[in-house]
Structure 1
């Protein structure tokens, strides 16, 4: 059977998208290549026509996740308070409830660290977020505040996904969101 010229490229993209979703939802270690390929209706052996290793796929999927999050978080949107919008999005129940489409950091960062495989893409993502937050705060301690705020966001999202009590999960998001938005208001009016 002869495939169209763009078949390989489309298949490659499908593998990246599904891997990014599964890595964010289930983690890297819990996502095997065979089940991943089977989900796509492909063979395990076919994986190696697209990637040298799972590690290469992890990096590619992480990059895809970062790029996808930029769009879904409205990072390119203009408005008077993009940081407030980002906080509201990041600490929302919708983001919590759909880890496969959300930020890769709560799932993947600790796992990559535990595996001894930190990623320069993670470095880039964290630096970009810190710069975005600090630029909007624009005060003397904006760099330090940005670290605290982003760590609080990632931590709150991660914890909200890990507790079994729905009220506690909502409380973690709501309280962190409120306190961070208060901090943004204070910094931007000072």
Structure 2
């Protein structure tokens, strides 16, 4: 009986984290209160504190999970540089721009994460390192450390491009930003 309760609690906790990740990327961290987050997960407000000590605790767990999932997904791309080309095209797609709730947490939340507490920044730093390590390993499999600067360049290029594309009210200009971003990132890779 206790084992079931523990497993049930873990499943419930994971559901809260997943739904909160979508909500945060859609409405922002400050744009979603505990009652909305718990409603999204199909739970009452009172259940929140059985899983998290505070909203900040939830935010750091969401950031860690979102980036871990993103890094794992990068591992399913084609090997080497062709996989990075696929990543660039997928990342800078209209679909990613138009659906931030299921996209990259960096493009959706960086400005808010920079104002968060230490636990969230630490979770973000660890997740960003994992993503940068994955990119560097694809750029230079024999010596990933030598590709660290290029990995940083590529990642900041695509994240910044997506943030700019989302901020524009002019759809045509936003499309142009994405297209030019793909062209720039692919040129950077070669």
Question: Is residue 92–residue 182 contact of structure 2 (8 Å, CA) maintained in 1?
Answer: yes
Higher helix proportion? 2
Q: What's the CA shift string for 1:83-138, capped at 9, x where partnerless?
A: 11111111111111111111111222221213454512211222223333333333
CA distance in 1, matches of 2:121, 2:64: 10
| Aligned-residue RMSD, C-alpha | 2.3
- Which ranges of structure 1 fall in alignment gaps of 5 or more residues? none
Change (3 A) 1:153 1:10: same
**Residues 81-160 of structure 1: pairs in structure 2 closer than 5 A:** 81-117=82-118, 119-138=121-140, 142-160=147-165
Change (3 A) 1:20 1:79: same
1:38 corresponds to 2:12: no
Q: What's the CA shift string for 1:125-173, capped at 9, x where partnerless?
A: 2222333333333399733322222111110111111111111111111
- Which ranges of structure 2 fall in alignment gaps of 5 or more residues? none
CA distance in 1, matches of 2:68, 2:150: 24
Change (3 A) 1:145 1:59: same
Q: What's the CA shift string for 1:49-95, capped at 9, x where partnerless?
A: 11111111111111221233235x44233435211111111111111
Q: TM-score, normalising length from structure 1?
A: 0.83
Change (3 A) 1:165 1:51: same
Q: 1:59 maps to what in 2?
A: 60
Q: 2:23 maps to what in 1?
A: 22
Q: What's the CA shift string for 1:20-76, capped at 9, x where partnerless?
A: 1111221111111011112333221211111111111111111221233235x4423
Q: What count of residue pairs does the alignment treat as equivalent?
A: 181
